[in-house]
């Protein structure tokens, strides 16, 4: 089944360019492009979209409230930030992933595949972590910081944060110490790895 994507971006040039890349991928279908989030919820319902690519700047200071409400209305929706300028990292935490304006075509394709994989994993079993999420969990349990994890795995810090959000959502564990205990109990790490 193909992933149905909505792009919400004020710049028509950016939206068309991104849609062109995504439509070139077999498992994705761009079903709508909007220039504002005004009628977004209705459009999601009408198109049965499961991936939303949204410019956080369109939401202003109310992004967390808006995204929280959208998540309640459409619980199976993966919301991805489309970042075209500098944003404080705290603005990106509600998102399930990040596409940056300077990402190459191959990087966008790679990220979209990751998002689709995380969506497939989420739909099959909310407790099961993907391979990449497990790798991030192990790194966190070993005391590594986001930057170190990103460097080691050759991914962006935003992707690490996205994986950590997914881990927290799936396990219900928010603290590093809690995640460490989870990793130990599930035999993902050994006690000697912690010393």
The ranges assigned to domains in the chain are 1-124, 126-190
More confidently predicted of 193 and 155: 155
**Nearest Cα to 107, choosing from 19, 21, 27?**
21
| Architecture field, domain 126-190 | Orthogonal Bundle (1.10)
Percentage of residues in the chain having pLDDT higher than 70: 91
> What does the chain come to in residues?
195
What does the alpha-carbon distance between residue 73 and residue 107 come to, in Å, rounded to a whole number? 30
pLDDT attached to residue 124 = 41
- pLDDT confidence band for 126 (50 / 70 / 90): very low
Please compute the mean of the pLDDT values over residues 52-80 and round it to a whole number: 82
More confidently predicted of 177 and 4: 4
Q: Which two tokens stand for residue 40?
A: 């977004």
Radius of gyration of the CA atoms of the chain, in A: 17
Looking at the domain that runs over 1-124, which CATH code has it been given?
A: 3.40.50.2300
> Given CA atoms 105, 110, 114, 120 in this order, what sign does their dihedral have?
positive
pLDDT attached to residue 9 = 94
pLDDT attached to residue 195 = 56
**Alpha carbon separation from 137 to 94, 146, 156, 168, 169 (Å, rounded):** 19, 11, 16, 10, 13
pLDDT attached to residue 134 = 92
Q: What is the mean pLDDT of the chain?
A: 84
Same fold, 1-124 and 126-190: no
């Amino acid at each position: 089944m193909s992933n149905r994507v909505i792009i919400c971006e004020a710049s028509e040039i950016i939206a068309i360019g991104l849609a062109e890349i995504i439509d070139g991928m077999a498992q994705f279908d761009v079903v709508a492009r909007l220039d504002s989030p005004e009628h977004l919820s209705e459009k999601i319902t009408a198109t049965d979209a499961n991936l939303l690519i949204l410019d956080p700047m369109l939401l202003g200071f109310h992004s967390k409230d808006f995204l929280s409400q959208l998540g309640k209305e459409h619980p199976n929706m993966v919301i991805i930030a489309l970042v075209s300028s500098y944003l404080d990292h705290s603005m990106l935490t509600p998102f399930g992933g990040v596409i940056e304006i300077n990402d190459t075509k191959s990087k966008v394709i790679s990220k979209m595949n990751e998002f689709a994989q995380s969506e497939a994993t989420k739909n099959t079993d909310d407790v099961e972590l993907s391979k990449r999420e497990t790798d991030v969990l192990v790194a966190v349990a070993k005391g590594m910081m986001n930057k170190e994890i990103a460097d080691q795995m050759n991914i962006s810090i935003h992707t690490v944060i996205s994986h950590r959000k997914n881990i927290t959502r799936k396990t219900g564990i928010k603290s590093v110490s809690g995640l460490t205990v989870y990793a130990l109990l599930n035999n993902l790490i050994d006690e000697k790895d912690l010393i």
